């Protein structure tokens, strides 16, 4: 999971449980998402990169570059 990119589908930010769609196992799956950097936020449609994964369905993300 770490290093995969995903698209924000539910706002990720302080005090929120966001949602990110990530391509895995031949399809796309939804994961609960939090910003890896406190205070950061990402609006729906933004591409992010998974920095940390906590089973079964939680990821910590940062802005995707490139």
Q: What is the CATH number of the domain that holds 24?
A: 2.40.50.140
Provide DSSP, 16-57: --EEEEEEETTEEEEEEEEESSTT--B-TT-EEEEEEEETTT
Distance CA 62, CA 51 (A): 7
Distance CA 8, CA 58 (A): 13
- Provide the pLDDT for residue 65: 87
Summarize the confidence of residues 43-64 as an average pLDDT. Answer: 97
Summarize the confidence of residues 37-53 as an average pLDDT. Answer: 97
The model's pLDDT over 2-44, given as tens digits with 9 standing for 90+, comes to: 999 999 999 999 999 999 999 998 999 999 999 999 999 999 9
Reported pTM: 0.93
- Provide the pLDDT for residue 52: 97
Q: Confidence band (pLDDT; 50, 70, 90) for 66?
A: low
Distance CA 30, CA 16 (A): 16
Question: 47: domain range?
Answer: 5-63
Q: How many domains does the chain have?
A: 1
């Amino acid at each position: 999971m770490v290093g995969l990119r995903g698209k924000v589908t539910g706002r990720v930010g302080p005090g929120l449980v966001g949602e990110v769609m990530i391509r895995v196992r031949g399809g796309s799956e939804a994961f609960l998402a939090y910003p890896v950097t406190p205070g950061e936020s990402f609006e729906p449609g933004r591409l992010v990169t998974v920095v940390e994964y906590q089973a079964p369905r939680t990821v910590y993300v940062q802005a995707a570059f490139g």
